[in-house]
Amino acid sequence: MEKVNLLEKFSLFTEHWQPKIVGELNDAYVKIAKIQGEFVWHTHANEDEMFYVVRGQLTLKVEDRELELLPGEFFVVPKGVKHMPVAKEEVWIMMLEPKTTVNTGDVQNERTVADSPWI
């Protein structure tokens, strides 16, 4: 039962595309990640996923649209909707998603992280 300071948590790691769990509530995890470059197009069949930007500018490709998210902005990708995060420069994001969510959804590749660690 401790409070979580996001910037403090972000200061503990430098690697990209490796989500860390910083909280849990009900059936969901609060995760943070540093990302840079392109991810992979994927879909979560049963899980809505929230992306909240803490630092930097996130391009979120969502089906045929492209959203630009700045710090203090979020977007919820509905279940079943194909999406791909892209970060031209490094971006720090907070995500909220069911505990069952795998980062690459229906795709399995070298970016897949099935079990994120707590930080």
Does the footprint of its own copies cover residue 25 (CB under 8 A)?
yes
The region of 5-13, 32-40, 104-112 touching its own copies under the rule CB under 8 A is 5-13
Tokens for 49, please give them. Answer: 């996923």
Cα separations (Å) of 110 from 18, 48, 102? 11, 23, 13
Q: Which is nearer to its own copies, 21 or 113 (CB)?
A: 21
Nearest to 87 by CA among 50, 7, 33, 11: 33
The footprint of its own copies on residues 33-52 (CB under 8 A) is 47-50
- Say how far apart CA 116 and CA 105 lie, in whole Å: 14
Residue 16 burial (CB count, 10 A):
15
Tell me how far, at minimum, the Cβ of 83 lies from its own copies, in Å: 11
Q: Binding residues for its own copies, per CB under 8 A?
A: 1-7, 23-28, 30, 47-50, 54, 60, 62, 65, 67, 69-70, 72-76, 78, 96-98
